[in-house]
Structure 1
């Protein structure tokens, strides 16, 4: 019989069973598992012998007492083992839960770190794109600025080249006034008109015989030529926006009779440049002919005169005259 097998369980009785209960249980089990009745069951013989051994052990008070002590010790040991096993299971379950929680925490931390890395990568990429766009805008702005500067330089060079072809008469303004009312000489005219620009020469025409006769009647028309260093100064005098009362007393005309072509060319080039750069101001209701060109930015250097061949005899005569040491000539003052 297996030493670990519980004899009470084998017989089907409790630990408090009496001898009669043991005898009755033995007879029932012995009849049930007798080999003659269980020929087809190979384990019936062994089971029959185990039942006989269990009955013999329990029927003997000494052996039963020893067996009970041993059985109680085994039960106590099994209970302790079961208790330890339950604790181990509980601890194992707790460890599994802790490990699972730690794994979830690690996974959550990894996901957060991954999200932070992705966000940082996206931010860097976006920053690079913004930086690239800003750099592109800056390069485009520099390129446009440089193009405008190049065009302006070309225009200035063209204007300077055009200015180099300006002869002395293009920089000359003819003025007329009534000397009976307002007397002027070379010095006073120079002081009055130098505010528009440096004067190269002031040529005051001498009083003609006809003028002397008209002066006797109360009118003394006089004329003079103002030769400016720069055509810009001459242009400023002809197109001044706010005339003073003193300047309005003078009749002003270009020495050649019409506005020099170089002024119109410069005005046309500046108008085209302003329209191309988008900086042209709206002048609704006014024609282009009323626009006063700005040629004040042109090189103001003294430009020598060139050919003086033209049909205006009076202007030619007055230009060659000088205020001091000039022989008397009769010049018609119109």
Structure 2
């Protein structure tokens, strides 16, 4: 007896649609029953069960009452499935819309943060530019005020008082190779060599012979000497004669012991720049006997002569000016020789 359970979907068992006719049902049943008939498959226990299921579905669909019940059930299921599909589609649409809103919200939040950061940076830039402009304006104003103050102040006197002679203002440092000056290893020999420039304090001369670091057993190659003259002008004359063969200072480096020009020399140089032509010696007259008229002559043996109107500073100044003239003449001659 065929089952009355409408849940058994005879359409699915026979592979038919709900629109199938009785003819379609019978034709399909014959084809399927031949494939699973127990007489054709005696060794297959599932064939009998499958054949029995086909018979139930066949009888179920040929019964109008049962078929109508099954059709109604299928229509209800189909409608429910369509409603669920519509719900799923709507749900998916809502979910997609929600996700799109979330993406738009995040994008707007990022753009807002970027805009706020850009605005803050622009505010800081404008503030920094304003501070820089105020500083430039203040600096320009201060500079103008300083310039006005400087112009309103009385001019400093062109000639200032003579600075005191320091303890090192008459001392020079000599550096030379012992191979070129083998005799200059004692204070006496060095004083005799430099006597051409003026009196030297022989007892205060300091000589340092630099030993060979790589070959300490061999004699030194270089010497350094600190030589104090009695007068700053004599020390300056020695400095200006550095490297001169005719003055006995070939290959000799001469510098101030402090490596800076003494203030007294700077002052005398300034006085020379502001002095008048009345300070110049007359034709044929030596400015002072301690500095020879001929730069090649030995001035150490001469004795200073007292001249009216010439004090020690003026005499020293004139000696320095003469040495400067010699140096300029020498540079001009060397330049002309190089051009030839």
Tell me the TM-score normalized by structure 1. Answer: 0.38
Q: Whose RCO is larger (CA < 8 A, sep 6+)?
A: 1
Tell me the TM-score normalized by structure 2. Answer: 0.37
Higher helix residue share: 1
Larger Rg: 1
